[in-house]
């Protein structure tokens, strides 16, 4: 059912329409307007999707993984390269192959657990009997708490059975009953991840067949039993086509491909995209073996690579083709290799069915799809049977030939642990959603239990150019007409998402690489913190209906009885109030590789800047594409990747991660926030990673907090904490030299003499320079520079240029082998940097841990490309300062030398949760007021997070205030206060506000300078410095208890990234490995301005709603400090484009992942 827009005031139209939209509406539908505070979701509403026993299963993994086996590890002679006792053991043979196979546990039980604190189910990829749902039900047992994980959810769920059958009869074929099962020849079904996030996760189940009781395919045409090729007649073209008029006329160029005659061989079998011949440039050229790019047309289509040449002759058949077309529809296709007519084997069988499954915080939806229209001679009935334990049995039926799907919806109930059947269109009872925005469409979907709000087709888009500071809004109002019961609202703002119904839609363009969507309170136009997450796609290929270009911004909340709420969605592209925004979102790879999870982050728009494959599905590396930013709106070359925990046990076996729980809690635009928690396959090392990216105007800067903890004694043959440049993903690492040190000190300076890429030959691992687990000197921050990158392509010839790599270790704290360690050790592997344990250590003790904060920096190369960045971001103080340094290594060193710390905070009880990014939490009862002193300076805009707030809405004089050293009064930071982000903390029921502030007065500045910040109303006329005593100078991550008597909240044993309990022996995936794509844009036609809605300057307090589930995850330097200082451990530009057609997007070097192609 499609709901039209109502152009009336929210309070009026809700009353008018609520009764019109539901025939059974209550007489007194809406009595009050709800605030955001009363609709916020709880921890039980947060959705998770976790592979319990590994990084999915081996069928959905790419290269660079070991073999998987149940057999015991092999034994090797002493001093053999595969002897795990050997010094500098790598885990690989001389050839680069793994010495040992890894556990086959990921294949033995390839279980995907999808759950919230209310409902859940288990998907079994290996099911051969057709029941892919072995467990399903409620997770709301009173014994489960906020710390529940995938194992808890798995064990709380009830045994279940979901089967799809087809009773079918085709022409000349007797009636038969078929079951939807894993396709013949496939070991597992394929799970395609469409959307993933805390509000909703959606998965397709493919590679299925309708199979008989004996497991065979059902043949629908008796002709197929006689063979697929006709042997009695010759042909030169397909049935229904004219006879060949222009066959190739010479044996020198005999093959007709794409209407042109070619010599000898044909197309590159990898089917990779190209836009230029081999050697013509750095952006999508053909490989040496297939050097000729044929068919590329700017803005229209990619080319394909051939090893042959063409004589440019136009043709419609190969040389010597003199026969006519096929004459029978039974065998309609002509095989030009044999000149015989044949039929496509797939026409002999029914089209494959598939499942479309989704979970919201309180609802599970199972949709079964089929294609009966493609088999016109067949008819029958489809049945979907669902049984959950002994208490719930549901059967849904549909006609095979006239319908195409059937749905079952199961919802949590407040008064019962049993699920309720909501399959009869009543999943949105008493909920009405309307939009007063001209051109917006509201669609209620009874088969998914949600609402889609499609943005107007006139909403602006961007080409691959600087998109400026544009903001677009769509207003909605939501009403609950039930006078006594609260109702859940499941809602997605959409652009071009597949809705299942025909509505007016337009495609995204280049802005899709870096968009943010915020939720505002409509009346005040301030961000209200309702958690929202973005899922998007730009990949074309395959048969999935979810391929293509679309995005959704998804939210789930609860509306009290008889109430309504008015919201505004604010859409931001390149800039948020004139400063480039940061975005981090799930990027669906349905249509590309279907290897489940991929995430993409960008500073502004116009291409990726930081990508993650958290499961390592493509290459085993969790950090993949990393690219510089020149603020020109164009893609740059990939200089990724990176890796987190690399752990080979004492027998030399690689221990992959399992039970990976990835949570993208805040997309941006001021500070993104994502967490990744996993367990090594042997259950011995818990890994907790946090990733944040901040809004800034100087360079790509990603903050990474890493924590590992040993759950028991853990002997190892190899252990690494972090790699920049991964041994399984490492592109364009053509830098000239390594330099590293601590602040102003240079510890090492040497030329790179080795090129490895992903080559794991021993000579290109630890033996390359002899630097293995070398202690870093000094007290930090430590820095690493890999520069200058000497790739030949320069900006004047091709804008897709590389950048220089930098890494800063802001802090390091650990206990290793039972001994406290305050600095990491470094290894240099050919063209990669690795951080790890000290030399000589071969075993972790129970309770050992590592806690470090990293800062990945990708700089434009010094010279012309750095100058381009400065020209495009002329107001950046940081770029101006960095321009006074002549080399990239000095600029990386400068990042380490510019450091900030929060040195005091008031009132008593306030907590310094992190020093950089700054995170200060207001104590209860403080009326949302906090004051803190920051010592030092930092490059770029510093994220400042004020947490523990009771409200996200600010009064007229509330905001962030600043008093620089030597100044007598505070100044309200107007722009910074307006351009803020709001997150709601489901755990505490409080809010956090995020601001981006420059703490770099002047170009050089004074490193010892102090700045006092205050959040709250206007300070008193005579502000005084923060009343707390000066704390110890060097903030640490150490998990020591607070040494002072100042009132402070009870400290956690150490700053953890995720408040989840120590994992149980149950399997957990690890945040590793990553898909490696290097897309380049296929230019499209130039954009034209779009009419409505014209870009609006950001409304008053503009803010973005980002949600973080666990704000108490500690992700900064220095652990926690109490109020006494003690440590406890453009200009707006019109970038609209009404040209909504988009060229097929595609591309890829490396792993050839497709890139959106718009100009």
Following DSSP, what letter does each residue of 1061-1097 receive, concatenated? PPP-SS--B-S-----EE------PPP----SSPP-P
**Secondary-structure breakdown of the chain: helix, strand, coil percentages, each rounded to the nearest 5:** 5, 40, 55
Residue 1118 reports pLDDT greater than 70? no
Is the Cβ–Cβ distance between 158 and 173 less than 8 Å? no
What pLDDT is recorded for position 1071?
32
pLDDT at 630: 98
Supply the pLDDT for residue 1156: 56
Residue 764 has pLDDT above 90, yes or no: yes
Taking residues 1067-1079, report their average pLDDT: 34
Does 525 sit behind a cis peptide bond, omega within 30 degrees of 0 on the bond before it? no
Determine what percent of the chain is predicted with pLDDT higher than 90.
Answer: 68
Q: Which residues contact 780 (CB under 8 A, 6 or more apart)?
A: 742, 743, 809, 810, 811, 812, 823, 896
pLDDT, averaged across the chain? 85
Averaged pLDDT for residues 686-715: 98
- Identify the pLDDT of residue 28: 52
- When pLDDT is averaged across residues 952-966 and rounded to a whole number, the result is 93
Residue whose C-alpha is closest to residue 490's, from 556, 569, 563, 553: 556
What angle (nearest 5°) sits at the alpha carbon of residue 768, between those of residues 762 and 772? Answer: 90
Q: Is the dihedral of CA 433, 437, 443, 449 positive or negative?
A: negative
Q: Residue 307 — pLDDT band, cuts 50, 70, 90?
A: confident
- Confidence (pLDDT) at 1002: 59
Q: 409: how many CB neighbours lie within 10 A of its CB?
A: 24
Burial (CB count <10 Å: 0-12, 13-18, 19+), residue 879: buried
C-alpha distances out from residue 475 to 355, 472, 571, Å: 33, 10, 11
**φ, ψ for residue 1077 (rounded to 5)?**
-115, 155
Please check whether residue 289 is in contact with residue 308, taking contact to mean a CB–CB distance below 8 angstroms: no
Specify the pLDDT at position 414: 82
Q: Could you give phi then psi for residue 671, rounded to 5 degrees? A: -155, 115
- Exposure letters 477-501 (e unless 16+ CB within 10 A, then b): bbbbbbeeebbbbbbbbbbbbbbbe
- 927 or 1122, greater pLDDT: 927
Tokens coding 446: 């009874």
Give the pLDDT confidence score for residue 798 in this predicted structure.
93
pLDDT of residue 255: 78
pTM, entire model = 0.84
The model's pLDDT over 142-177, given as tens digits with 9 standing for 90+, comes to: 677 888 999 999 999 999 999 999 999 998 788 999
> Measured in whole angstroms, how far is the alpha carbon of residue 906 from the centre of its chain?
37
Q: Which residue has the higher pLDDT, 243 or 4?
A: 243
Phi/psi at 800 (5° precision): -90, 80
Range list of β-strands (E), 207-362: 208-211, 229-234, 255-257, 260-262, 273-274, 292-294, 303-306, 310-314, 333-335, 340-342, 354-360
Grouping H, G, I as helix, E, B as strand and the rest as coil, residue 931 is: strand
> What pLDDT is attached to residue 262?
76
From 675-679, 729-733, 948-952, 1106-1110, the region with the lowest mean pLDDT: 1106-1110
Q: Give the Cα separation of 297 and 313 in Å (integer).
A: 18
Does residue 641 have a cis bond before it (omega within 30 degrees)?
yes
719 close to 646: Cβ distance less than 8 angstroms: yes
Of residues 1009, 920, 997, the one with CA closest to residue 962: 997
Is the Cα dihedral 242, 244, 246, 252 positive or negative? positive
Cα 47 from Cα 50, distance rounded (Å):
10
Token pair belonging to 710: 């040993």
Question: Three-state DSSP class for 60?
Answer: helix
Give the closest residue to 1124 by CA, choosing from 813, 835, 909: 909
Q: Which pair of structure tokens corresponds to residue 403?
A: 């319908």
Residue whose tokens read 């995430």: 599
pLDDT digits (tens, 9 = 90+) for 343-397: 888 888 999 999 999 999 999 999 999 999 988 889 999 999 999 999 899 999 9
pLDDT at 784: 98
Mean per-residue pLDDT, 992-1003: 87
- Hey, how many other C-beta atoms are within 10 angstroms of the C-beta on 540? 18
Task: Using the predicted structure, report yes or no on whether residue 842 has a pLDDT greater than 50.
Answer: yes
The residue among 243, 92, 1148 whose CA lies nearest residue 620 is 92
Instruction: Judge whether residue 229 has pLDDT over 70.
Output: yes
pLDDT at 321 > cutoff 80: no
Q: What are 408-463's pLDDT values in tens digits?
A: 999 999 878 899 999 998 899 999 999 999 999 999 999 999 999 999 999 999 99
> What pLDDT is recorded for position 4?
37
Q: What pLDDT, on a 0 to 100 scale, did the predictor assign at position 198? A: 98
Q: Which residues contact 892 (CB under 8 A, 6 or more apart)?
A: 783, 784, 785, 787, 804, 806, 807, 808, 857, 859
Are 257 and 268 in contact by the 8 Å Cβ rule? The answer is: no
The least confident of 288-302, 387-401, 508-522, 892-906 is 288-302
Question: How confident is residue 232, by pLDDT bands cut at 50, 70 and 90?
Answer: confident
Tens of pLDDT along 210-221?
A: 999 999 999 888
Higher pLDDT, 787 or 2: 787
1067: confidence class by pLDDT, cuts 50, 70, 90: very low
- The single residue listed with the structure tokens 């691959």 is 464
Which residue would you say has higher pLDDT here, 55 or 1150?
55
1081, pLDDT greater than 90: no
d(CA 501, CA 2): 9
CB 642 within 8 A of CB 728: no
Angle at 615 between CA 1067 and CA 679, to 5 degrees: 30
Task: Give the model's confidence band at 636: pLDDT under 50 very low, under 70 low, under 90 confident, else very high.
Answer: very high
Q: What is the percentage of the chain residues whose pLDDT exceeds 70?
A: 83
**Res 1032: pLDDT:** 34
Q: Residues near 214 by Cβ (< 8 Å), separated by ≥ 6? A: none
- What is the reported pLDDT for 242? 75
Q: What is the pLDDT of residue 275?
A: 75
pLDDT at 1113 over 80: no
């Amino acid at each position: 059912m499609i709901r039209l827009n109502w152009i009336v005031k929210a309070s009026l139209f809700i009353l008018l329409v609520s009764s019109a939209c539901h025939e059974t509406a209550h007489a007194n539908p809406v009595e009050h307007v709800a605030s955001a505070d009363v609709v916020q979701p709880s921890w039980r509403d947060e959705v998770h999707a976790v592979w319990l026993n590994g990084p999915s299963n081996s069928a959905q993994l790419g290269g660079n993984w070991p073999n998987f086996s149940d057999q015991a590890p092999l034994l090797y002679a002493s001093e053999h390269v595969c002897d795990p006792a050997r010094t500098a053991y790598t885990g690989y043979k001389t050839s680069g192959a793994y010495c040992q196979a890894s556990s086959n546990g990921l294949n033995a039980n390839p279980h995907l657990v999808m759950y919230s604190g209310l409902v859940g189910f288990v998907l079994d990829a290996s099911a051969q009997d057709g029941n892919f749902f072995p467990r399903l039900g409620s997770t709301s047992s009173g014994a489960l708490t906020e710390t529940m994980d995938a194992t808890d959810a798995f064990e709380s769920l009830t045994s279940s059975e979901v089967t799809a059958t087809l009773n079918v009869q085709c022409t000349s074929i007797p009636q038969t009953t078929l079951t939807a099962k894993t396709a013949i020849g496939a070991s597992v079904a394929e799970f395609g991840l469409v959307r993933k996030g805390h509000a909703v996760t959606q998965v397709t189940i493919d590679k299925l067949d309708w199979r008989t009781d004996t497991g065979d395919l059902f043949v629908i045409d008796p002709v197929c039993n006689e063979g697929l090729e006709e042997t009695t007649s010759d042909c030169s073209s397909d049935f229904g086509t004219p006879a060949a008029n222009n066959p190739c006329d010479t044996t020198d160029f005999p093959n007709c491909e794409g209407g042109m005659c070619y010599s000898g061989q044909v197309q590159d079998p990898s089917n990779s995209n190209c836009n230029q011949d081999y050697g013509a440039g750095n952006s999508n050229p053909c490989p040496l073996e297939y050097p000729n790019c044929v068919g590329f047309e700017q803005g229209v289509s990619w080319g394909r690579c051939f090893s042959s040449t063409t004589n440019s002759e136009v043709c419609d058949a190969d040389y010597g083709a003199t026969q006519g077309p096929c004459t029978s529809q039974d065998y309609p296709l002509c095989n030009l290799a044999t000149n015989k007519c044949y039929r496509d084997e797939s026409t002999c069988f029914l089209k494959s069915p598939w499942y479309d499954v989704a979970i919201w915080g309180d609802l599970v939806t199972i949709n079964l799809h089929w294609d009966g229209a493609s088999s016109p001679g067949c008819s029958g009935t489809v049945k979907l049977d669902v049984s959950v334990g002994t208490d719930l049995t549901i059967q849904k039926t549909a006609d095979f030939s006239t319908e195409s799907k059937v749905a079952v919806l199961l919802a949590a109930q407040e008064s019962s642990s049993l699920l309720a059947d909501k399959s009869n269109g009543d999943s949105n009872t008493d909920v009405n959603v309307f939009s007063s925005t001209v051109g917006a469409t509201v669609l209620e979907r009874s088969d998914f239990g949600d609402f889609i709000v499609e943005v107007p087709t006139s909403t602006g888009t961007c080409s691959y150019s600087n998109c400026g500071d544009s903001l677009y809004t769509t207003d909605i109002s939501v009403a609950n007409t039930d006078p006594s019961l609260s109702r859940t609202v499941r809602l997605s703002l959409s652009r071009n998402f597949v809705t299942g119904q025909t509505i007016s839609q337009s495609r995204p363009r280049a802005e899709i690489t870096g968009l943010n969507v915020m939720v505002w309170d409509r009346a005040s136009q301030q961000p209200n913190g309702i958690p929202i997450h973005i899922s998007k796609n730009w990949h074309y290929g395959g048969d999935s209906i979810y391929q293509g270009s679309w995005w959704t911004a998804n939210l789930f909340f609860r509306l009290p009885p008889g109430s309504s709420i008015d919201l505004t969605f604010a859409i931001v592209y390149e800039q948020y109030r004139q400063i480039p925004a940061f975005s981090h979102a799930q990027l669906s790879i349905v249509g590309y590789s279907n290897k489940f999870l991929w995430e993409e982050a960008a500073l502004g728009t116009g291409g990726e800047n930081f990508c993650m494959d958290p499961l390592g599905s493509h290459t085993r590396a969790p950090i993949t594409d990393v690219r510089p930013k020149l603020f020109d709106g164009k893609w740059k070359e990939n200089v990724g990747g990176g890796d987190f925990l690399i752990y080979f046990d004492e027998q030399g076996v690689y221990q992959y991660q399992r039970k990976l729980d990835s949570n993208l809690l805040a997309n941006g635009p001021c500070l993104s926030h994502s967490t990744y928690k996993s367990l090594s396959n042997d259950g011995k090392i818990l890994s907790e990673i946090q990733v944040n990216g901040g809004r800034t105007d100087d360079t790509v800067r990603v903050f990474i907090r890493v924590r590992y903890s040993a759950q028991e004694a853990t002997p190892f043959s190899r252990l690494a904490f972090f790699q920049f440049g991964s041994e399984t993903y490492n592109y364009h690492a053509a830098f000239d030299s390594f330099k590293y040190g601590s602040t102003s000190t240079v510890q090492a300076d040497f030329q790179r003499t080795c090129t490895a890429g992903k080559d794991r030959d021993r000579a290109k691992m630890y033996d390359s320079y002899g630097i293995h687990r070398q202690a870093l000197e000094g007290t930090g921050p430590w820095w690493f520079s890999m520069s200058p990158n000497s790739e030949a392509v320069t900006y004047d010839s091709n804008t897709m240029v590389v950048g220089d790599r930098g890494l800063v270790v802001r802090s390091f704290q650990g206990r290793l082998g039972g001994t406290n360690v305050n600095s990491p050790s470094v290894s240099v592997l050919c063209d990669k940097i690795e951080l790890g344990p000290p030399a000589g250590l071969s075993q972790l003790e129970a309770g050992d841990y590592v806690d470090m904060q990293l800062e990945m920096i990708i700089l434009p190369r010094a010279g012309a490309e750095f100058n381009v960045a400065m020209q495009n971001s002329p107001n950046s103080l940081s770029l101006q300062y960095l321009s006074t340094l002549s080399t990239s290594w000095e600029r990386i060193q400068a990042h380490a030398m510019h450091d900030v710390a929060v040195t005091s905070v008031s009132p008593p009880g306030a907590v310094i949760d992190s020093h950089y990014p700054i995170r200060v939490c207001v104590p209860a009862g403080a009326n949302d007021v906090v004051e803190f002193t920051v010592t030092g300076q930092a490059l770029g805009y510093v994220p400042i997070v004020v947490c523990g707030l009771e409200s996200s809405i600010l009064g007229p004089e509330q905001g962030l205030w600043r008093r620089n050293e030597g100044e007598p009064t505070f100044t309200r930071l107007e722009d910074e206060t307006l351009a803020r982000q709001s997150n709601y903390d489901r755990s505490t029921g409080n809010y956090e506000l995020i601001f981006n502030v420059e703490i770099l007065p002047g170009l050089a500045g004074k490193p010892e300078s102090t700045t006092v910040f205050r959040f709250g109303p206007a300070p008193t006329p005579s502000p005084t410095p923060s009343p707390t005593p000066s704390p110890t100078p060097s903030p640490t991550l150490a998990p020591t208890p607070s040494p002072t008597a100042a009132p402070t909240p009870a400290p956690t044993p150490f700053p953890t990234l995720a408040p989840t309990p120590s994992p149980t022996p149950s399997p957990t995936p690890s945040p590793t490995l990553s898909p490696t794509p290097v897309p380049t844009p296929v230019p499209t036609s130039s954009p034209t301005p779009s009419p409505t809605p014209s870009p609006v300057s950001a409304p008053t307090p503009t803010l973005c709603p980002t949600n973080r589930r666990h704000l108490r995850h500690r992700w900064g330097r220095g652990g926690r400090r109490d109020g006494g200082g003690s440590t406890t451990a453009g200009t707006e530009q019109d970038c609209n484009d009404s040209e909504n057609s988009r060229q097929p997007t595609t591309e890829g070097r490396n792993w050839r992942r497709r890139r959106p192609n718009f100009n």
